[in-house]
Amino acid sequence: MIDVTFFEIEKSLNILLYLLLMEYRNKLMLAPMVRVGTLPFRMLAAKYGADITYGEEIIDHKIIKCERRVNDVLGTTDILEKGTDNVVFRTCPEERNRVVFQMGTSDAMRALKAAEIVCKDVAAVDINMGCPKAFSISGGMGAALLSKPDLIHDILTTLRRNLDVPVTCKIRLLKSPQDTVELARRIERTGVSALAVHGRKVPDRPRDPAKWNEIADVAAALSIPVIANGDVFEYEDFQRIRDATGASSVMVARGAIWNASIFSSEGKVPWEDVKREYVRESILWDNDIKSTKHTLKEMIAHYSSLGIPEALAVIKSDTLADLAKLYGEEEYYEYVSESRRKQMT
């Protein structure tokens, strides 16, 4: 009995320490974005002022087939598919106190098994309850959870009881404001540290205006921090959405893809400079070429089209060396490559 008591005390102290390190109030956050929110983009957003950076959603089925490995050459911790060098999730000590691992799941015990693989290397674990895409919903994940409050309770309470790091989740609006508030209150009772609310419903498209007033209903009803998400495209929008919703913090997705310096209080950096800096970060952290190309195409498509010479050159690029040449970063690529060769000898 004494051993159990000491264990519970130690666990409670560990959770308290993480909560002190991971404050969810008055923060600017990078939203989770598939194929974009890898280590280079998270580091870039943090350089420009993001306080908390979410990784891309990764499905629990995938993580439980992985193993943790320290990469001494890159200075990272890699979650790899067992028996391969395929990186599923990569992080580093520099982001340890701000990176949030977002998971797609539909089962409490499987979520716990996956979270236990990554929890020592991240600041918090978040459950995706808002993704409206077919692959997510068909697997009972993402927005499919919104209609299953008992399963939500099971997943969140299981993680809260067994992990030392904070647990949060991200939802969308339900059919009525009352339904959203009722679900948010149930989520709060699970003991999560914060709740992110995307101000759109499942059928809504990105072009549909975010309903800040319905986020405000949730923020007024809860005592835990509420994170507002939706239609933040300029630095000034951070304060606008705070004022309109009463939310504790703000999360941005598309606005950050289009120009990651949206987080800077000094104003946006020229778009061309942001792209080059992203390429440098991708080189530094040896990012997957497909992920880097996808993110660059998203950046280009917003300001121009994928038919311009630059976009076509990105599409044709097979390696990070190709992208380094395209964006005038050959010297940096060679410098990083030579540094790695020296480390390995």
Would you name the residues annotated as active-site residues? 131
**Beta-sheet pairing, 194-201 with 226-229:** parallel
Please report how the helices 271-284 and 330-344 are oriented relative to each other, as an axis angle in degrees rounded to 10. Answer: 20
DSSP three-state, residue 13: helix
How many whole angstroms separate alpha carbon 196 and alpha carbon 170? 4
**Beta-sheet pairing, 167-173 with 76-81:** unpaired
Q: What is the residue type of 277?
A: E
Q: Are 35 and 291 in contact (CB under 8 A)?
A: yes
252 has which bridge partners?
30
Q: What is the 3-state secondary structure (H, E, C) of 190-231?
A: CCCCEEEEEEEECCCCCCCCCCHHHHHHHHHHCCCCEEEECC
| Torsion sign, CA atoms 88, 93, 99, 105 | positive
Count of H-run helices and E-run strands, the chain: 15, 12
